[in-house]
Structure 1
Amino acid sequence: IPSDIEGAELGITSDGFFEDLDEEQPKKVVVVGGGYIALEFAMLMRGLGSDVSILHQAWPVLEGFDSSIQKALRAQMESDGIHINDNGIINKVEKQEDERLTIHFEDGSQINDVNALIWAIGRRPNTDNIGLENTSVEVAKNGMIVVDDEEKTNVAGIYAIGDIIGKAPLTPVAI
């Protein structure tokens, strides 16, 4: 959940998706993100009958995938009634008196009467507390360990694999 958006904690993440949703089918769902997890949740909720909007900012859905897949999936989602907002930048989430949410955007627009806000914006790699500060291993600003094509770091004999290198942020591929 982003720490720089007021009220962001009113949303849920994929971790608690099934536990955190109310027992009733949410009528209006907003999914923030454009990766495969976000799209899976959006399509699941739409398939169950919710009014669904996807919010992601200025990059194509499924960034890093083949462009023909991106275009075809986007067209299918739109034809299925999923609303896609490519440019809305959220600056505040607010709970209404009836417990529904209002999502406010930097341009002054908003989405009202949201029953469920799902943050599916990826995760920061868990590299903060593994002792990298005691090495010369190069770490990018986003926390990813920098490696070459053979997963070698800049330090001889130290390799990194999986999600912490940012090459394949899809769990099955990273494993």
Structure 2
Amino acid sequence: MRKLVLTPALLALTAGAALAQAAPQHEDGPGPNMVIEVADAEGNAKGTITLDLLQEVAPNHVARLVELAQSGAYDGVVFHRVIDGFMAQTGDVQHGQKDGDTTLAGMGGSDLPDLDAEFSDISFQAGTVGMARAQDPNSANSQFFIDLAPATFLDGQYTVVGQLIDGWDVLQSIKKGDAGANGAVEDPDYMATVTIVE
């Protein structure tokens, strides 16, 4: 299982926290950038999100994201779990293809092995990109999430892999899920194409 593990109390703390969240201001660093073209369930373009990947912070996780993006594995993968005021999660290449059965989206990864954690002292703030994992800290694989608001309760427990540097409005527009179903999204938006720019 690759879902973030959150208690109802933590979900209550995050609910509605980002209603007036200002766009984060992160500089484009030396790492490669991941460019995500977002589309709605009908295939209509919603815009582009650009993530600066922090190769110096989590080299193995960033290498995994780059490998999957360059192979085309992320193209067509849905944002299966989106919690207003918290985060948008995607990257399940096994169960998250928009044209497939997405009922298990969030439970899978890729055909590559899981990764050992690369925790850092970077705090989870609006626009921070982290790797999703199961209970085992060394279980991240292909899924990642982008914070819609500060989520410092995740600090030191999930591997930070990047920061959003462009497309805050697009990120905020991603279709939200049902809070009563832990953010599961019906007819979700998806990553139409994902490319890496060095």
Higher fraction of strand: 2
TM score, norm. by length of structure 1: 0.28
Higher fraction of helix: 1
TM score, norm. by length of structure 2: 0.26
Kindly name which structure, 1 or 2, has the bigger radius of gyration based on alpha carbons: 1
Q: RCO (CA 8 Å, sep 6+): is it higher in 1 or 2?
A: 2
